[in-house]
Structure 1
Amino acid sequence: MTDHEFKPGLRSRKGRAPLPPEAQAIADELSRRAAQMWADADGELSIREAVEVAAFRMGVETPQTGAEPGEVS
């Protein structure tokens, strides 16, 4: 790992209620892991891909609920 140190920005989210502390902690950890992974990837991952991989590794990836093509609901 590199010496990359993630520091969350200000939590200015006009019009939205603040996240509960547990959810904010998860969001901060996800952001930290994704930023580290992106920095270590040397251009091989986009920040979006890094977030997706970090979420998957954390076990918080949202399950997909859409039907498969050709599948009847």
Structure 2
Amino acid sequence: MTDNDFAPGRRCRKGRPSMTPEQQALTDELSRRAAQLWAEADGELSIAEAVELAAFQISAKTAQNATEPRSES
């Protein structure tokens, strides 16, 4: 691993409340997307900026899905 490689660390949640499965899935998705964005940015984004961008992308996707009309069967 080089100095610029980012890999999410082990989950150390000692002493913290447990997350719901939905919260854990969202956390995992955010971590995965942020790491991918950061790696693809080739030094142009900090990890904090990559996390912020990934969170924005997830929230935009969620908002779009919530506003799409439902097909009635």
Q: Give the length in aligned residue pairs.
A: 55
Q: Supply the distance in 2 between the matched residues of 1:7 and 1:42 (Cα, whole angstroms).
A: 15
Q: Supply the distance in 2 between the matched residues of 1:20 and 1:7 (Cα, whole angstroms).
A: 23
Shift in CA distance, 7/42, structure 1 to aligned 2, threshold 3 Å = closer
* Gap regions ≥5 residues in structure 2: 1-5, 61-73
Letter in 1 for 2:33: R
Q: Percent identity?
A: 67
The structure with the greater share of residues assigned to helix is 2
Partner of 2:27: 27
**Runs ≥4 in structure 1, deviation > 6 angstroms?**
none
Cα-to-partner distance string for 1:20-39 (whole Å, 9 max, x where unaligned):
00000000000000000000
